[in-house]
Amino acid sequence: MSDQKIPLEAPPSYDDAAQPLVQPATTTQAPPRPGPRLPLPLDLPALNIIRGKRVILASASPRRRQLLAQIGLNDLEIIPSTLPEDRDKSLAPFEYVLQTAEAKCRHIYTTEIDSPKGEPTIVIAADTVVSTHMGQILEKPRSEKEHVAMLKMLRDQNNGWHKVYTAVVCMAPLETLMDPGYAMETHVEETAVKFDQNVTDELIVSYVRTREGADKAGGYGIQGVGSILVEKIDGTFDNVVGLPLRATLMLIEKCVVDPAMPDEVQEAL
């Protein structure tokens, strides 16, 4: 049956079932092997400033959270924006993602600036869309039928090439009385992705039924099973995942460094 749950682990064999569930206390177990050593956090002034403070990710995406953890931002406060993503689809993809990400960031920033927890040190928001070569914006599929059609279109049009756009917006309060009282930095990144045109309809349907891509713009996750659909990319991989990490780090640095600080001091940081 389609709704049958798959067990996380195989059931024990009959031979295993005959053994006692709890081994005798005299049984000596080998000590656990140490795992791989995690890298030390990046020792950068901007990251050191915001560590241990209110760093808000205005997104429920676990992939964005994982990417930020790679630069040492593990203690994030996750507050997704509840604003409808109803920008006009006639906008160019670049403008569409930028306006959407800006709205998300402003919404959470203005909501949390007077929070009993204290004002946020920085708010990070992002939005990702997939675009056909003609500029048609594709977001998350709304049904299995639409999902299959979306992936077939990406495979068949323009020799399999399409584009992924992610906008990142960061906002941080200023310690000065400068108007408007906050710093806001934005970035939009573009990556071209080519689907393998030898991907069969059967494989597409099989992938859709994994549901991995059901909550993703364009209907696939390049960091997971969806990589089997992709032949190559031109641009940054993490942008396709949902957050261009290098660009995000640059925005954080621009936001948390005092804009009134002399340029030569900023460059030294």
Q: What residues are labeled active site? A: 127
Q: Is residue 141 within 8 Å of 76, Cβ to Cβ?
A: no
Q: Is 122 exposed, middle or buried (0-12, 13-18, 19+ CB in 10 A)?
A: buried
Q: 206 vs 146, 154, 155, 230, CA distance in Å? A: 14, 16, 15, 15
* Residue carrying the six token digits 């931002």: 73
What is the number of H-type helices and E-type strands within the chain?
A: 9, 7
Q: Which residues contact 197 (CB under 8 A, 6 or more apart)?
A: 155, 156, 159, 160, 231
Cross-strand partners of 233? 193
